[in-house]
A and B are shown apart, each in its own frame.
Chain A
């Protein structure tokens, strides 16, 4: 049994120190996932903390024996919280994102930056749930199997969905719509 699973077992026995170690392993990834989606540091911190609080409350439901992935478990909670947050502040996201990008200029190649910016903007023009799939697959490098668990979809359907999302993103970048 690997270290993470041992910590999970201890946390399931209400061992807070073990849960603290799990927090230490995963909080960076959960935070950056939240920040990319919210573009607001305070909101991202809140969602990150709330994710671990909910994980603690429901950790006994997590089943290692059935091949459960703890990162998938955490990302499921974070994703749901982000979706709830997005529903509350539907129109603010793209605006916030654009403001953030305008300030954040570096010395990178302008063309390259422009292309990257187009992609980032395109990511905020697609559906919220589709954006989550792109982040989980391409930025968090999760397997289709893990993402299927998080999103509660079938792996085959997920592959097709992600392929379509990429085509859609390409179209937005090229046409600007």
Chain B
């Protein structure tokens, strides 16, 4: 049989397809429940747009925070940098990034002969906070290493700019902080030794 003739035969079967009673009796009435406004509900529109809006905000904030990391005091994005530092320090519990940023700012701005008095004040405050936060032995060791590396950076910067008093001040602050960390460590070691001695004395008695 030719293919066209066969197709006609199958077409006859196809057109005889019986409709299920569900579709005949309830098809339209069930569908009509689902027919919402063609404009889309305000609720759906709000949520669809709010997701897009939220995504734009997140991307914009992320980009601003990243770009702000290169800013120095006086720049528009500097407050963003300080705010993001605070957030990172709170989330990670590690304030070392703050003092690293201050040292970078001090070095950059002394190269440009700008006044850094306020940054030095902030640096002193951040060093104090970092010291207070370093309670555990591991944190103290990290801070100690970090301060050593910052001291080296400042030393290198001072070698290139030997007349800068501000760099000298920054180094002094760093050294003081190093001394405090070491002092705390020594104090702790001494108190442990004292406790051990007391314990031994009691044993001897």
The one of B17, B19, B28, B34 that contacts A36, using a Cβ cutoff of 8 Å:
B17
Nearest-Cβ distance from residue B29 to partner chain A, whole angstroms: 9
Q: Is A75 positioned at the interface, with any CB of B under 8 Å from its CB? A: no
Partner of B9, one of A20, A31, A112: A112
The reply to whether B27 and A138 contact each other, CB–CB distance below 8 Å, is no
List the A side residues contacting B1 at CB < 8 Å: 112, 115
- Report the nearest A residue to B34, measured CB to CB: A53
Q: A23-B28, A56-B38 are in contact. Are A32 and B3 (CB under 8 A)?
A: no
Question: Interface residue count for A (Cβ, 8 Å)?
Answer: 35
Which B residues are in CB contact (< 8 Å) with A53?
A: 31, 34-35
Q: Chain A nearest CB: distance from B22 CB in Å?
A: 6
The answer to whether A32 touches B10 (Cβ under 8 A) is: no
A90 close to B (CB within 8 Å)? no
A142 to chain B: closest CB distance in Å?
Answer: 12
A67 within 8 A of B: no
CB within 8 Å of B: which of A94-121? 112, 115-116, 119-120
> What A residues does B9 contact at CB under 8 A?
112, 115-116, 119
Contact assessment for B11 and A45 in the assembled complex, using a CB-CB cutoff below 8 Å: no
Pair B28/A173 contact, Cβ less than 8 Å: no
A17 to B8, CA, bound (A): 36
Per the 8 Å Cβ criterion, residues 18-34 of A in contact with B are 19-20, 23-24, 27-28, 31-32
Asked if A63 is an interface residue, CB under 8 A from chain B, the answer is no
Interchain CB contact under 8 A, B17 and A31: yes
Cα distance A36–B17 when bound, in Å? 9
Q: Is A173 in contact with B3, judged by CB distance below 8 angstroms?
A: yes
0/1 interface trace, chain B 1-39, chain A, CB 8 Å (1 if under): 101101111110111010110110001101110110110
Judging by beta carbons under 8 Å apart, are B27 and A23 in contact? yes
Interface pair A32/B35, CB less than 8 Å apart = no
C-alpha gap A168/B63 in the complex (Å): 57
B23 and A139: CB pair below 8 A? no
Q: Is the CB of A115 within 8 A of B15?
A: no
Known A115-B1, A134-B7, A139-B11; judge A45-B34 contact (CB<8 A).
no
Closest to B40 in A: A57
Is the beta-carbon distance between B20 and A32 smaller than 8 angstroms? no
Contact, CB under 8 Å: A49 / B7: no
Determine the chain B residues whose CB is within 8 A of the CB of A28 once the complex forms: 19
* Chain A positions within 8 Å of B22 at CB level: 45
Taking Cβ atoms with an 8 Å cutoff, the residues of B that contact A are 1, 3-4, 6-11, 13-15, 17, 19-20, 22-23, 27-28, 30-32, 34-35, 37-38
**Listed A/B pairs (15) with beta-carbon separation below 8 Å:** A16-B32, A19-B35, A23-B28, A27-B28, A35-B17, A36-B14, A36-B17, A45-B27, A49-B30, A53-B35, A116-B13, A119-B6, A134-B7, A139-B15, A173-B6
